[in-house]
Structure 1
Amino acid sequence: MCTYTRGQFPLPHRLSRSRNKGKARKVGIKATPEDRVELNQVEIRAINVETPQWIAGLWDFCIKILSELDKHGWEVSVILCNDEFIRDLNNRYRNMDNPTDVLTFPQLQIGAADSHVIGGDIIISLGRSAENAHAFHQTHEKELKRLVVHGMLHLCGMNHDDTVSNESVGDLSEMLAHQERILQKHSEEPLF
């Protein structure tokens, strides 16, 4: 279970980057009215790519987005990979034999005490995200943020179906409009 009661908080050095190559594992702490603490857990791994220097910044951003989405006690895995790896997953699970920028695999399994939720996995292709950044005239950092928020919204059960129209976002699905609001709010958060 991922809850701590008063006096059982993890030591700050245990919240730092893992010594395991290719992994960063930390927890975000949120106080609840019952004076308990529910932790969000994010594990980040690099598969078939070099582990980025900015992995800790990515972890911070993921924790902030989970908090923004009012998710507590969630466990999320983020995998950074190459085009070949994501292409294989895209082919295997979606019958699409091409790489994509992001895939999500929601789990939404609630633990025994209903305080721990396995949200699922977000797979991001670093190659495809760099290509998107170039094509959209954005920084790679901004594109990675977009993919993380997009993946988190899918893990929360949102999809692209419902269209909304308003002056600030134009015609977008409700999910994409929500994504843009979150990105706007967190636009100054450093990742790199």
Structure 2
Amino acid sequence: MTWREAAGEVSLPKDFAIDITIATEGWPTEADLRSQCVSALTAAFRQAGLEAVPGSEVSLVFTDDEAIRELNRTWRQKDKPTNVLSFPGSDPDGELYGPLLGDIVIALETVKRESVELEIDFHAHLTHLVIHGILHLFDYDHQDDEEAEVMEELERCILASLDIADPYADRPLEADAD
């Protein structure tokens, strides 16, 4: 099953909104990105048991290395581009998140470069990064080895539900050291 086929199997929370901004040229069309994001987010909600209040919203910004480098420098004091950044929008109300889940920002050149370096399909890598980003908005992290193991195992499960190979298979587990 492809990510396009998986998109119709399960729905996101009621009245869930996905705001897509394409801030630089070179990305797939908005319709293609929306289809891929719906599939990735649906799988994440289903497999991870994520819950959000009705009417919740997530924003996805598809940008370039220059813009994400500036965000990374400003918010993480790391003066280099990265593949994905997540900015939570609100703390959970009890066990439910929302209505503003937050922003996920993804850099085109880094995604392309990593796809080539890791020898994985661009769309598979992009799907992984959308999943990685939404998990961050639900407080999953990888600052130490234990957190990284939990988050990566969940990512593997979500990706497997979309028939996407384990992106960590040939890489050692590591916390976010950069």
Q: Structure 2 length as normaliser, TM-score?
A: 0.72
Separation of aligned partners in 2, 1:125 and 1:45: 12
Q: Number of residues paired by the alignment?
A: 146
How far 1:56 moved relative to its partner? 2.9
CA gap 1:136/1:29 in 2 versus in 1, 3 angstroms: closer
CA gap 1:132/1:66 in 2 versus in 1, 3 angstroms: same
Separation of aligned partners in 2, 1:88 and 1:174: 29
Per-residue CA deviation, residues 98-140 of structure 1 (Å, 9 max, x unaligned), is 10000000122568xx885211000001110111111111000
Larger Rg: 1
Given candidates 39, 51, 60, the residue that maps to 1:71 is: 51
Paired AA for residue 146 in structure 2: T
State the superposition RMSD in angstroms. Answer: 2.5
Q: Structure 1 length as normaliser, TM-score?
A: 0.67
Structure 2: 5+ residue stretches without partners? 1-9, 165-178
Identity of aligned residues (%): 26
Greater share of residues in helix: 2
Separation of aligned partners in 2, 1:134 and 1:51: 16
Q: Who is 1:95 aligned against? A: 77
CA gap 1:66/1:173 in 2 versus in 1, 3 angstroms: closer
Aligned ranges 1:29-68 → 2 under 5 Å: 38-50=14-26, 52-53=28-29, 54-65=32-43, 67-68=45-46
Given candidates 151, 155, 163, the residue that maps to 2:137 is: 155
CA gap 1:109/1:99 in 2 versus in 1, 3 angstroms: same
Higher relative contact order structure (alpha carbons within 8 Å, sequence separation ≥ 6): 2
How far 1:40 moved relative to its partner? 1.4
Greater share of residues in strand: 1
